[in-house]
């Protein structure tokens, strides 16, 4: 793992973001903010977060419905394993890990599962951008007073909106016109790949298109979107509970903006656990709202740990219960 260039690039990016997050920070004041926090507030935050994870499992169950009906209670442990994998392995390997485990447990093709995972990520991105755009007037005010990271958020949001909108459109069209998409995909496969790879690649493409079947119904698309909004509102609820552990207060809409910004930033490659890419933008947004830097840094660090540790521990428990580990033999199943 450590020899892979992706790991080293991600580590370098994390170091850059951490240097931005810690620049000018007075460690004594930061430590005082962390020591004086009332950590009992984390407990309801964790409870709300796991309700959101259960809704994520239901959304995945819903997306996989046209392929195979799998109960949400079965999907929940697999979902936890996936998020654990994203937290400790580079390159979001947890997405592949949960697809492999679902194949082992339920016989769902990996390519079909990955199609639904990509759909999840696209809808998550759309909702995150929605959180930013709901607060666009406030963002404009903050940007006018900040020439740094927050000042660039409007431009970054516009670029992100274009990228996610284009991706969503492509997937919707592929879902609505599967036969045309398959013919077009096969045309490229026949012309770009060696003959020995064409049959296997074509089969993977067809299974991938099967994974988009849930998007053929406008009602299904609406259900996935509404569920995605609920998921991220619940996660913002965790931000709100953890905020009460510290000596500051901002509005729920401000935390929605922070949630949208930090989760869009975590799409940037980084070290496992989104080190730096979560923290720097989170501190920047809070500082733009007038929260003192030591308190903003203490809150963001505690929030990051509270988001990372419980789901990672539960996912590791479920993975151990499966009796498998992320190894070369497991990767070969992709």
149 has pLDDT over 70? no
What pLDDT, in 10s, does the model give residues 16-32? 888 888 888 888 999 99
328 has pLDDT over 50? no
| Mean pLDDT within 134-163 | 67
State the pLDDT at residue 41. 97
State the pLDDT at residue 1. 45
More confident residue, 11 or 224: 224
**Mean pLDDT over each residue of the chain, to the nearest integer:** 86
State the pLDDT at residue 154. 63
330 has pLDDT over 60? no
More confident residue, 245 or 163: 245
Would you kindly state where each structural domain of the chain is located, as residue ranges?
A: 27-331
- State pTM to two decimals: 0.87
Q: Angle at CA 278, nearest 5°, toward 7 and 97? A: 50
| Mean pLDDT within 324-333 | 56
147 has pLDDT over 60? no
Q: What tokens does 134 get?
A: 């709901």
CA-to-CA separations, 179 to 40, 175, 185, 207, 215, in angstroms, rounded: 55, 9, 10, 12, 15
Question: How many other CB atoms are there within 10 angstroms of residue 76's CB atom?
Answer: 20
146 has pLDDT over 80? no
Q: Name the one residue in this structure whose structure tokens are 């947004």.
A: 285
């Amino acid at each position: 793992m450590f020899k892979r260039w992706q790991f080293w690039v991600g580590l370098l990016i994390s170091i850059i973001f951490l240097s931005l997050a810690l620049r000018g920070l007075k460690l004594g004041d930061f430590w005082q903010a962390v020591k004086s926090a009332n950590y009992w507030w984390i407990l309801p935050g964790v409870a709300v977060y796991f309700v959101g994870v259960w809704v994520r499992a239901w959304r995945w169950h819903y997306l996989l419905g046209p392929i195979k009906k799998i109960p949400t209670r079965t999907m929940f442990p697999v979902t936890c394993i996936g998020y654990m994998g994203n937290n400790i392995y580079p390159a979001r390997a947890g997405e592949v890990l949960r697809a492999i485990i679902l194949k082992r447990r339920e016989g769902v093709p990996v390519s079909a599962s990955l199609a639904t995972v990509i759909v999840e990520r696209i809808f998550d991105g759309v909702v995150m951008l929605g959180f930013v755009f709901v607060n666009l007037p406030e963002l404009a005010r903050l940007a006018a007073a900040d020439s740094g990271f927050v000042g660039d958020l409007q431009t970054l949001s516009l670029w992100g909106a274009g990228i996610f909108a284009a991706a969503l459109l492509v997937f919707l069209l592929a879902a609505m016109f599967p036969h045309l998409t398959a013919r077009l995909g096969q045309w490229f496969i026949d012309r770009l790949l060696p003959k020995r790879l064409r049959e296997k690649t074509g089969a993977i493409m067809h299974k991938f298109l099967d994974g988009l079947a849930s998007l053929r119904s406008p009602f299904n698309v609406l259900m996935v979107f509404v569920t995605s909004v609920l998921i991220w509102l619940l996660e913002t609820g965790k931000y709100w509970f953890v905020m009460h552990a510290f000596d500051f207060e901002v509005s729920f809409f401000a935390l929605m903006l922070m949630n949208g910004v930090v989760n869009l930033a975590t799409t940037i490659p980084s070290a496992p656990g989104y080190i730096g890419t979560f923290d720097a933008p989170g501190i920047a947004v809070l500082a733009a709202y007038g929260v003192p830097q030591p308190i903003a840094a203490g809150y963001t660090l505690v929030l990051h740990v509270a988001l990372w540790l419980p789901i990672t521990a539960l996912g590791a428990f479920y993975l151990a219960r499966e009796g498998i580990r992320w190894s070369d033999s497991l990767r070969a199943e992709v």
